Amino acid sequence: MVQAVKNSWATFKSIFTGMGITGRHLVGPTVTLQYPEERATLPKNARARLFVNMDDCIGCTLCAKACPVNCIDIETVPTTADVDLGKTSTGNPKRFWLTRFNIDMAKCMYCDLCVHPCPTNCIYMEQEYEYSEYDRSNLLYKFSQLSPVEVDDVKAKAEAEAIQKQKEKEEKARQKAEEARLKKEQEAAEKARAADDGTGAVPAADAAKAAGTAAPDAADAARVAGTAAKPAPGSPSKQDDTQNPSKGEA
Amino acid sequence: MNETLSSMPFLPALLLHAAIPLTIILVYALVAIWAERKVAGFIQDRLGPMRVGGWHGWAQSIADLLKLIQKEDIIPADASRFWFKFAPFMMFAASYAAFAVIPFSSGYIGSMVNIGVFYLLAVTSVLTLSVIMGGWASNNKWSLLGAMRSAAQMVSYEVPTIATVLTVVLVAGSLNLMEITELQSGNDTLGFLPNWLIFQNPFLITAFIMFFISILAESHRVPFDLPESESELVAGYQTEYSGMRWAMFMLAEYADMLLLSLLGATLFFGGWNSPFGDFLAGPFWGFFWFMLKGLVLVFVMMWIRWTLPRYRVDQLMAICWNILIPLSFVNLVLAALWEMIF
Amino acid sequence: MDLAAILFYVFALVTIGSAAVVVFSRNIVHAAFSLMFTLMGVAALYVLLYADFLAATQLLVYVGGILILILFGVMLTSQGYTLNFREATVNVVPAGLLSVAAAILLIYAFSTGGWVITEVDERTDTVYDLGMMLMTDYLLVFIVAGVLLLVAIIGAIVMSTRLSVNTED
Ligand code: SF4
Ligand code: SF4
């Protein structure tokens, strides 16, 4: 009986305590903001939408590598010798054209991991959080400042330069081979001169043969280098992401 | 008002007479649903509905009503069509019919029958049946479970309700709610308190506490809202209902809440009597005081709803059968003894 | 025809119609729900006879109590709550004989009995009269009924507590 009275006392006490708490909240202030009319000021380090300051980007792709969900898609083309892209505001030289810099905000999970590795601090979160879209493809943000024409231009230039370099290399290799041949011929001639005159014809033919095999070797090496160099600037030139959002995922 | 009506031709007078409580219920339901959401909002430090109608979203319930009217009336393929359609209307009819004996003011009561409270309790017991009907006809396990729970709960809690009401009837000596109210006029308990029954007899205070707990259970309010617990039974017997039929259930529920609160106000807090004696008395002010008292009880119900968690089924039954029923009968006997001695 | 007569016929029709549904329905739950209308119709007929207390009791006890217990029982016990009864009639001959005998008896009683038609007198103090009669003329019956119910309650408590003791141990 005493226990029962105690129990009911405890029950009523806890009920009234609870009602006291809810009652205080009932008359207390509310924390709601009437959203479209009122907006909260976000804290400085709020993560909302990524922004890339392209003037400072050096195309190092560190951010793309850091992203755990692969939503940053970067394509770079090395600059040709005749252009100088200048330096970033932090003093790093820029050596790449950024022909593509896409961030898929539909995939982004706001982890902020891409922000910290950037050597020039040019990728960061903005305060903008109202960017919902009806079409998911509209969430693919393109930061590259080059127009398609310019991209083609730059790529063609880079390719031309690559071919040019290749040719120079080939030329060098050829010259080297030539030199080697000449050297060998000279040596052979000297040998022949040093030996008897009658036997001189055969080593000369040998030396010529040796030079003949050396030259195709150099040509082969050039060809191999050419195929290795070619696809790198060539293949991405076909991509055009404006029409096909699924490319970004591919 | 009863006098004015009796001079009119019979049928229009009857309809007008019947329309008064209906209007009160409908207006009250619109206000109460909005108020409930506001109370919920403020208790949770939110604002609640704010958009429709300007000031604090006061027209939200009207907008909801318009939306509900436009909704498709979906009847599940395997439901028992007739009973499924019928249940919400019977539920509302039952709680509406009970308003006939509520004295809204000194000038208006639906029917001056002698068995007032008894009639009210009898008619509201039909509510249980309509809940079972809706739950069974939906042909859905949750609905049926909700219906069974409601049947068990309402049949059980009817006993303490009746026992506590009986305590009041015993003190007042009448079943007619108008007479019970008239008995509580005046302001001379201990010199200053109004003559409300709750101040008349110490055992009526305990009776009121038990009565309030029982009506919480009878009107399916938290912490006794097991028949329609959203989180476990997906709203119980209402699961399959949509559109206006669901709205009828809702309306009946809120009407029931008001009915039982008004009953409590009549039985314990002097009905339409002004708390200041003759000051601000009269038929109109009587209505005002009466609704105020009822709405305060309704507000307390809302307050409790947003404070307490839900009981388990066995706890619910244990509270009723182990505590409320024995206590209410003991209380009845003690109140009778008090009346005999003093 | 005055309003009371119209109401009488309406409620009589409701009572008989729903009673027919109770008998002929093959779904036991439908039958139980129809029984509600029968009981309500009877309650309404009581009201027309100025027996308002009886009508309210009828509602409270039968609709609010017994019918709900019936439904409870039906839903808890039968396998599947849409149990169909067998349509075929069994024991046609004895049943036919019995009903013919009952019909003859009823018709005979109806045609030969003298029907006293009295105007029901309007009462207002039913509760008071009822209480007076229960406490004076019918006191013994009242007490016996009370004792009977007490016995039933004690029996129920004994049964249920024994059951729960068994399950707990
Ligand atoms: S915030 Fe995270 S998920 Fe989003 S782009 Fe940066 S690294 Fe990727
Ligand atoms: S890490 Fe910074 S600099 Fe490097 S590619 Fe990303 S945005 Fe550009």
Please provide the DSSP assignment of A88-134 as one string: -TTSPBP-EEEEEEEEETTT-----TTTTT-TT--EEEES------S
Q: Look at residue A45 and tell me whether its pLDDT is greater than 50.
A: yes
Task: Take atom 8 of ligand 1 and give the residue whose Cα is closest.
Answer: A67
HSE at residue A100, side-chain half, CA atoms within 13 A, is: 21
Q: Residue C166: is its pLDDT beyond 50?
A: yes
Q: What is the pLDDT of residue C145?
A: 93
From the list A79, A76, A66, the residue with the least C-alpha distance to A162 is A79
Residue B308: CB atoms within 10 Å: 18
Most confident range, picked from A78-92, A163-177, B51-65, C57-71: A163-177
Chains that touch B (3 or more CB pairs under 8 A): A, C
Residue A222 pLDDT more than 60? no
Give the strand pairing for A140-142 and A96-104: antiparallel
The Å distance, Cα A148 to ligand 2 centre, comes to 21
pLDDT at A80 over 80: no
Mutate to test the interface with C, among B119, B153, B174, B176 (most CBs of C within 10 A): B119
Residues C96 and C153 in one domain: no
Give the pLDDT confidence score for residue A233 in this predicted structure.
Answer: 43
Closest CA to B117 of B32, B180, B200, B55: B180
Mean local confidence (pLDDT), B135-145: 81
Is C72 within 8 Å of chain B by CB?
A: yes
Ligand 2 atom at minimal distance to the Cα of residue A74: 5
pLDDT on residue A250: 36
- Taking Cα atoms as reference points, which of B93, B143, B146, B102 lies closest to residue B123? B93
Residues 112-141 of B with CB under 8 A from A: none
Task: Report the pLDDT averaged over residues A16-41.
Answer: 84
Name which of B255, B135, B146, B201 is nearest C81 in CA terms: B135
Pick C27 or A52 by higher pLDDT. Answer: A52
d(CA C146, CA C149): 5
pLDDT score, position B63? 87
C25: contact with B, CB 8 A cutoff: no
15-54 in chain B: CB under 8 A from chain A: 39, 41-47, 50
Amino acid at B17: H
Is the pLDDT reported for residue A88 higher than 70? yes
What is the side-by-side strand order in the sheet with A72-78? A72-78, A96-104, A140-142
Q: Tell if the CB–CB gap between B303 and A26 is shorter than 8 Å.
A: yes
Banded pLDDT at C147 (limits 50, 70, 90): very high
Is B114's CB within 8 Å of C127's CB? yes
**Residues 6 or more apart in contact with residue A159 via CB below 8 angstroms:** A233, A234
Please report the pLDDT score of residue A245 as a whole number: 43
Contact B80 C59 (CB under 8 A): no
Q: Do C26 and C61 sit in the same domain of this protein?
A: yes
**Contact between chains at B307 and A26 (C-beta distance less than 8 A):** no
List Cα–Cα distances, A77 to A97, A143, A243, in angstroms.
5, 15, 22
Chains B and C touch (3+ CB pairs under 8 A): yes
Mean pLDDT of chain B: 83
* Cβ distance of B45 and A31 shorter than 8 Å: yes
Q: Determine which residue's CA is closest to atom 3 belonging to ligand 1.
A: A108
- The bound ligand whose nearest atom lies closest to the alpha carbon of A59 is 2
Return the HEC string of chain C.
CCHHHHHHHHHHHHHHHHHHHHHHCCEHHHHHHHHHHHHHHHHHHHHHCCCHHHHHHHHHHHHHHHHHHHHHHHHHHCCCCCCECCCCCCCHHHHHHHHHHHHHHHHHHHHHCCCCCCCCCCCCCHHHHHHHHHHCCCHHHHHHHHHHHHHHHHHHHHHHHHHHHHHHC
Q: Give the Cα separation of A118 and C34 in Å (integer).
A: 78
- Ligand 2 center to A57 CA (angstroms): 5
Q: Tell me the C-alpha distance between A170 and A225, whole Å.
A: 9
- Is residue A247 over pLDDT 70? no
Kind and range of the H or E element at A168? helix A148-194
Query: Domain holding C116: CATH number?
Result: 1.20.120.1200
Sign, CA dihedral B235-B238-B240-B243, equals: negative
> Exposure pattern of B260-282 as b/e (b: 16+ CB <10 Å)?
bbbbbbbbbbbbbbbeeeeeebe
Take residue B1 and report the two structure tokens written for it. Answer: 């008002």
Q: Decide: A123 in ligand 1 pocket, CB within 6 A.
A: no
Torsion A186-A187-A191-A192 (CA) sign: negative
Domain identity same for C33 and C112: yes
Residue B135 three-state SS: helix
- Cα–Cα distance between B168 and B199 in angstroms, integer? 12
> Which tens digit of pLDDT belongs to each residue from B95-124?
888 888 888 887 777 777 778 888 888 888
Higher pLDDT, residue A40 or C169 = A40
Domain boundaries, chain A: 50-146, 153-197
Identify the closest residue of chain B to C51 by CA–CA distance: B115
User: Of the candidates B10, B123, B148, which has its C-beta nearest C59's C-beta?
Assistant: B123
What value, to the nearest 5°, has the Cα angle with vertex C34 and ends C28 and C35? 90
Whether pLDDT at B342 is above 90: no
Q: Is the predicted pLDDT of residue B2 greater than 70, yes or no?
A: no
Q: What residues pair up with C112 in beta bridges, in sequence order?
A: none
Kindly report whether the global pTM for this prediction surpasses the value 0.80.
no
Give the per-residue pLDDT at A234: 41
Please list every residue in chain C whose beta carbon sits closer than 8 Å to the beta carbon of residue B155.
Answer: 64-65, 68-69
User: How high is the pLDDT of residue C81?
Assistant: 46
Show the tokens assigned to C103.
Answer: 């019909």
Confidence of residue C144 (pLDDT cuts 50, 70, 90): very high
Q: For B199-235, what is each residue's pLDDT tens digit?
A: 778 888 888 888 998 888 888 887 887 777 677 777 7
C35-83 residue pLDDT tens: 888 998 998 888 888 888 888 888 888 888 888 888 877 777 655 544 5
Instruction: Give the pLDDT score at C169.
Output: 45
Is residue A126 in contact with ligand 1, taking CB distance under 6 Å?
A: no
User: Ligand 2 centre from A164 Cα, in Å?
Assistant: 29
Question: Is the CB of residue A109 below 6 angstroms from any atom belonging to ligand 1?
Answer: yes
Confirm or reject: Cβ of A98 under 6 Å from ligand 2.
Answer: no
The angle that helices C139-168 and C126-135 make with each other, rounded to 10 degrees, is 90
Q: Do the Cβ atoms of B151 and C36 come within 8 Å?
A: no
Chain C, nearest residue to B175 by Cα: C127
Nearest-angstrom CA–CA distance, B310 and B123: 27
Structural domains of chain C, count: 2
C-alpha distance from B88 to closest chain A C-alpha (Å): 33
Phi, then psi, of A104 in degrees rounded to 5? -90, 100
Q: How many CB atoms lie within 10 A of CB A75?
A: 21
Which residues of B have a CB under 8 Å from any CB of C?
10, 80, 83, 113-115, 118-119, 121-123, 125-126, 128-129, 132-133, 136, 144, 148, 151-152, 155, 158, 175
Same domain, C75 and C150: no
| pLDDT band of A46, cuts 50, 70, 90 | confident
Tell me what pLDDT residue C79 has: 53
CB B34 within 8 A of CB B57: yes
Expressed in angstroms and rounded, the spacing between residue A75 Cα and the centre of ligand 1 is 17
In short, whether A71's Cβ falls inside 6 Å of ligand 1 is: yes
Instruction: Confirm if B135 and B144 have CB atoms less than 8 A apart.
Output: yes
pLDDT of residue C13: 93
A114 lines ligand 1 (CB under 6 A): yes
The CA distance from A102 to A74, in Å, is: 6
C25 — pLDDT class (breaks 50, 70, 90):
confident
Give the pLDDT of residue C143. 93
Is residue A76 within 8 Å of A39, Cβ to Cβ?
no
Length of chain A: 250
Residues of A in contact with B308 (CB under 8 A): 15, 18
pLDDT at position B91 over 60:
yes
Interchain proximity C60–B121, CB inside 8 Å: yes
Angle between helices B60-70 and B10-43 (to 10 degrees): 110
Strand partners, A98: A76
Q: How confident is the model at residue B189 (pLDDT cuts 50, 70, 90)?
A: low
pLDDT at A226 over 90: no
Q: Where are the alpha helices (DSSP H) in chain B?
A: 2-6, 10-43, 60-70, 81-98, 116-137, 141-172, 177-183, 202-218, 230-233, 243-268, 283-305, 313-318, 325-341
Residue A143's region, left for phi above 0, alpha for psi from -120 to 50, else beta, is alpha
Residue A229: predicted pLDDT: 44
Tokens of B88: 């919400």
DSSP string, B2-57: HHHHHTS-HHHHHHHHHHHHHHHHHHHHHHHHHHHHHHHHHHTT-----STTSGGG
As a whole number, mean pLDDT of residues B244-260 equals: 88
Select from B36, B39, B42, B222 the residue whose CB has the most chain A CBs within 10 Å, as the one to mutate to test that interface: B42
- Examine the pLDDT at C102 and tell me if it is beyond 90: yes
Tokens read off for B222: 């938290």
Instruction: Establish whether residue A69 lines the binding site of ligand 1, counting it when its CB lies within 6 angstroms of any ligand atom.
Output: yes
ipTM rounded to 2 decimals = 0.78
Domain that holds residue C147: 138-169
Q: Which ligand is nearest to the CA of A88?
A: 2
Contact B300, A23 (CB under 8 A): no
For ligand 1, atom 7: residue with the closest CA: A67
**Pairwise CA distance, residues A34 & A47, whole Å:** 22
Half-sphere exposure at residue C166, Cβ-oriented, CA atoms within 13 angstroms:
6
A199 pLDDT band, cuts 50/70/90, is low
Residue B258 pLDDT exceeds 60: yes
CB contacts under 8 A, B 164-223 vs A, are: none
Ligand 1 centre to CA of A32 (Å) is 30
Fold adopted by A50-146: Alpha-Beta Plaits (3.30.70)
Give me B333's structure tokens.
């006997």
> What subunits touch chain C, counting only 3 or more CB pairs under 8 A?
B
**CA gap C98, C110 in Å, rounded:** 18
What's the average model confidence in pLDDT over A97-120?
Answer: 88
Of B122, B132, B136, the CB nearest to C60: B122
Amino acid letter, C97:
L
Nearest CA in chain C to B147: C72
